[in-house]
Amino acid sequence: MAPSAVLEIGFRPADLARVRFAVSPLDHVLGGVAGPQHHCARDSVNRDRWWRRVKGHVPQQAAAFIDLVNASPLGVPMFLTPDSTAARATIGDELDALLALPEAEVHREMQDYGTGPDLPRVIAELRDGGTRRLRRITDAAWALFRTCLAPDWPDIQRALRADVEQRSRAVAETGLGPMLARLHPDLSWHDEGTLRYASPEWRLAYDLGGRGLELRPNLFLSGLTAPLGAHRSPALLYPGRDHPARHADGLARLLGTARTRALRAIAQGACTTNQLAEDLGVSAPTASAHATVLRDAGVITTERRGREVRHSLTALGRDLLLG
């Protein structure tokens, strides 16, 4: 038995060779909207800064997803967290994997919520409708990502990749155990092959059983969280190092928050004014006004195609975003 207030992850020799890194956009959507009752995101400076900046733009469609994430103080429903066996090239890949979940997995987790008048409606919908109701959740998650996170995602990805590269070098220089212990101040590595996390939220001893462990940096976390279910590949989510929020805030001081969001949205790919308005959750005239200021500053260019105009990032705009 694990001591109280400790998570113990046991490594076998085969597990040591199967530790790998991955980056997940859906992890960040989950961490971004997790309320203060979730210990892993509580007191995250990066998460709080991002949320203050985007909360006024959260689409109404995202409400069901946010309600589900925060329905229980015990944690986010495990089926929402990407399984390490699922492809994660894009948020679309992860949401497609969510739609393909077995009915039994969703039903099993919904039973843990019990009943009561304070439960969000989405719990009853998933309990009664199972996977047929998942489309509403994935659509809500996609709307939230597209509107609030996509403009920042290129910068976040760069920070995550730098984190992974640095920790991969540390494995080569000092070994796997010391690298794992440096993922969080409350982690410790023990030579018998045990990784221990001292946290009042955990009371679990878990044997990886030769399946290895996927390490996923997350810039919206302050603590660790570990999807360690019996029906999924094990993963450990840890706080990623330094996210470009300071730079983002600097851009906001230079351009204004709304125009910074518009610039980052256009950086995702050329778009029309209507598409920009949809991404930002504003009216078309407001999006057009933002584009005019950005074009006058030389950070985007606008090309007319028939009755539409398309906005694209210039070299100057790209350099500005890259710092």
- Percent of the chain exceeding pLDDT 90 equals 46
Q: Is the pLDDT of residue 312 over 60?
A: yes
Q: Is the pLDDT of residue 243 over 60?
A: no
All structural domains of the chain with their residue ranges: 9-204+212-239, 245-322
Phi–psi pair at 134, nearest 5 degrees: -70, -25
Q: How many residues does the chain have?
A: 323
**pLDDT confidence bin for 249, thresholds 50/70/90:** low
- Please compute the mean of the pLDDT values over residues 86-112 and round it to a whole number: 83
Indicate the burial class of 236 (C-beta count within 10 angstroms; 0-12, 13-18, 19 or more): buried
Q: What CATH fold (topology level) applies to the domain 245-322? A: Arc Repressor Mutant, subunit A (1.10.10)
pTM value is 0.75
Q: Is the pLDDT of residue 225 over 50?
A: yes
Strand ranges, E, within the chain: 6-10, 19-21, 187-190, 194-198, 203-207, 213-218, 235-239, 271-272, 300-305, 308-313
Q: Is the pLDDT of residue 15 over 70?
A: yes
Q: What is the DSSP string of 246-296?
A: HHHHHHHHHH-HHHHHHHHHHTTS-EEHHHHHHHHTS-HHHHHHHHHHHHH
The pLDDT value recorded for residue 2 is 47
Among the listed residues 31, 23, 30, the one whose alpha carbon sits nearest the alpha carbon of residue 221? 31
Count the alpha carbons within 13 Å of 246 in the hemisphere toward its beta carbon.
Answer: 4
d(CA 106, CA 74): 17
d(CA 158, CA 156): 5
The pLDDT value recorded for residue 244 is 46
Residue 150: C-alpha distances to residues 84, 100, 211 (Å): 22, 24, 32
